[in-house]
A and B are shown apart, each in its own frame.
Chain A
Amino acid sequence: MNKLYRGLARPYQIWLIILVFIPLLAMVLISISNYNASLSLSEVQITFADWDLLFQHQTLVAFKNSLVYASLTTIISFVLGYFVAYQIKQSRIKNKFIILTIIILPMWSNLILRTEGLLNIMEENNILKSIIGFSLLGNIAGTPFAVLFGLVFTYMPFMILPIYTALEKIDISLEEASQDLGVTPFKTFWKVIFPLSLKGVVTGSIMVFLPTMAGFAIPKILSKGNIVLIGNIIDQKFLYTTFNDGSLLAVVILIVILGSLLIITRFDKEGETLL
């Protein structure tokens, strides 16, 4: 792209340095200190005393839970979301932006109301049961399945949207050409369409994976507090002003995820799929 437009990035770079880089640096510093709100600044010291937090049982379990739920959510959202995005592309509806708005519309309602609504119908006795006479989802409140269900159907719009935008650009004649050459529809999809939509898949996966990894409200409500994710712990540490512990965990998550994103970019021959 033309160098002429580099100037446009400048304000954002400054913005990122002020609002991301400096706080990030501060977080790293806080994570190696004993800082919390009730200490005055003169008492703050550099210490690694709280780093055993990283190896405590509940932290490890929470990390594992976050990874497992975020990965599963991303995979399931990808499979179902890709399917739906593909169907929308093939549908005859002309104005597909309307469809996309419809897909994302549920997210405009408050997350707590939606999640408690889901919890409501996952209970044994619920509002839907009092109308239709049976439990639609069964009595699953508090189970891992409930959490996964909630996560998938909350974040899936974030998967559908970028995949659709990627699919939408693909020239229909490519598909026709492939079919004319006698390639089976499945092979056409796998060899032609899918690779071309990969950028959308990657964007969608990032947008589903990151919020699920760091979030906590949905698992907390739908597991009835029985499943602890790393987001819960960070949130609690900050709420009770144990800033050093909270920062430490937040920094570790950031390093792990940004590091893995970076590694993927390095090893990716094209180097373009991810970023």
Chain B
Amino acid sequence: MTEKRIDYPVATLEEYGYRETPAYVKKIIKVLKSVLTYLVIFFLYLSIIVIAIQSLNSSRVMSAFDHVSFQWYPNILNEPELMTAIKNTFLVSSIATVVATILGTFFAIGLYSLEKKRRQQWMLMNNVPILNADIVTGFSLMLMFRLLMPLFPNIFGLFTLVMAHLFFTIPYVILNVMPKLKETDPNLMDAALDLGVRPFKAMLKVLVPAIKAGIFAGMLMALTMSIDDFVISYFNTGAGFDNLSVWIYGVIGRRELTPSVYAFSTLLTLFTLVGLVLYETLKNNKKKGKLWLRK
């Protein structure tokens, strides 16, 4: 082969209309971007910062800062009502979150495998618990649970509270898992099944890993909704099993909250943050596992 050199004019990027953004402009944009990001995160945490400041205030007067004091932190232990409420909250929310995440994932897979029209109808129903006014949901759940009372007279308490929390947390899990399911390649599951993998195993080994980001987001949201619910919890609890929100609302009706409540909120936030950072550092040190949710 002979090579014939042809002198075509070579177009530059500029001639295509491409213009290099000057380096300083890029830098400014970059800085602006991170400033805005941090600003948004700061505003997300603004109320938490105020709570933290209030928890460190030596004075119980919340509109002015006196001096730094840690007295409200050990004082949490001296508040038996607060302690009980905290314990109840943890118990209810952890059970509700775990169960809602597992069930919600299964349900979402089930709903996804329905025909499109059917699925849309059920997904509309799925939105009702999120949309309905809390007090309406709380009331109607209570009435439904009451129908069980002739069979189980002492049903109201932890059990009904967990059931009520499942009622409004499962929809959040489904809402988060569904978009992920739509992104999965349908051939993937078919392939697995054709290869003789049993359906349940295929679901756990093929499908669940593919949608785990959605599952995790759903779990986070379920926990978030559950840990701070007041109205629905109020109507569906019983036998003195009050969670933290019910207790807080009950106190501000007539009395003054102890600053130890602020201390607890701050601790919850701090512990989670520190825990996350520690986990991250430890994991990086070990250089094991690339993904958090690895099986």
* B228 contacts A by Cβ under 8 Å: yes
Q: Which of A35-60 contact B (CB under 8 A)?
A: none
> What distance in Å separates the Cβ of A25 from its nearest Cβ neighbour in chain B?
10
CB–CB B110/A7 < 8 A: yes
* A63 contacts B by Cβ under 8 Å: no
Q: Which of B236-295 contact A (CB under 8 A)?
A: 244-245, 248-249, 252, 261-262, 265, 268-269, 272-273, 276-277, 279-280, 283, 290, 292-293
Taken together as a complex, chains A and B put the C-alpha atoms of A23 and B164 apart, in Å, by 14
* B154 contacts A by Cβ under 8 Å: no
CB–CB B199/A2 < 8 A: yes
* A112 contacts B by Cβ under 8 Å: yes
B45 (CB) vs chain A CBs: closest residue: A106
With A162-B179, A165-B180, A239-B135 known as contacts, the answer to whether A87 contacts B37 (CB < 8 A) is yes
Q: Chain A interface secondary structure, helix, strand, loop or mixed?
A: helix
> What distance in Å separates the Cβ of B12 from its nearest Cβ neighbour in chain A?
12
CB–CB B214/A80 < 8 A: no
With A6-B114, A120-B62, A238-B136 known as contacts, the answer to whether A182 contacts B183 (CB < 8 A) is no
> What distance in Å separates the Cβ of A108 from its nearest Cβ neighbour in chain B?
5
* B70 contacts A by Cβ under 8 Å: no
Taken together as a complex, chains A and B put the C-alpha atoms of A238 and B136 apart, in Å, by 8
CB–CB B189/A1 < 8 A: yes
> What distance in Å separates the Cβ of B224 from its nearest Cβ neighbour in chain A?
5
Taken together as a complex, chains A and B put the C-alpha atoms of A95 and B276 apart, in Å, by 10
> What distance in Å separates the Cβ of A87 from its nearest Cβ neighbour in chain B?
5
> What distance in Å separates the Cβ of B169 from its nearest Cβ neighbour in chain A?
13
A8 (CB) vs chain B CBs: closest residue: B110
* B216 contacts A by Cβ under 8 Å: yes
* A100 contacts B by Cβ under 8 Å: yes
CB–CB B129/A20 < 8 A: yes
* B155 contacts A by Cβ under 8 Å: no
With A8-B109, A113-B248, A121-B46 known as contacts, the answer to whether A127 contacts B57 (CB < 8 A) is yes
Q: Which residues of A contact B (CB under 8 A)?
A: 1-13, 16, 18-24, 26-27, 80, 83-84, 87, 94-95, 97-98, 100-115, 117-118, 120-121, 123, 125-128, 130-131, 153-154, 156-158, 161-162, 164-166, 168-169, 182, 184, 199-200, 203, 206-207, 210-211, 213-215, 231, 234-235, 238-239, 246-247, 250, 253-254, 257-258, 261-262, 265, 271-272, 275
- With A13-B122, A104-B224, A210-B130 already in contact, 11 other A-B pairs whose C-beta atoms are closer than 8 Å: A1-B186, A5-B203, A7-B110, A9-B114, A23-B141, A98-B277, A109-B48, A121-B46, A125-B63, A162-B176, A253-B133
Q: Which residues of B contact A (CB under 8 A)?
A: 13, 16, 18, 33-34, 36-37, 40-41, 43-48, 50-51, 53-54, 57, 62-65, 103, 106-107, 109-114, 116, 119-120, 122-136, 139-141, 143-144, 167, 170, 172, 175-176, 178-183, 186, 189-190, 193, 199, 203, 213-214, 216-217, 220-221, 223-224, 227-228, 230, 244-245, 248-249, 252, 261-262, 265, 268-269, 272-273, 276-277, 279-280, 283, 290, 292-293
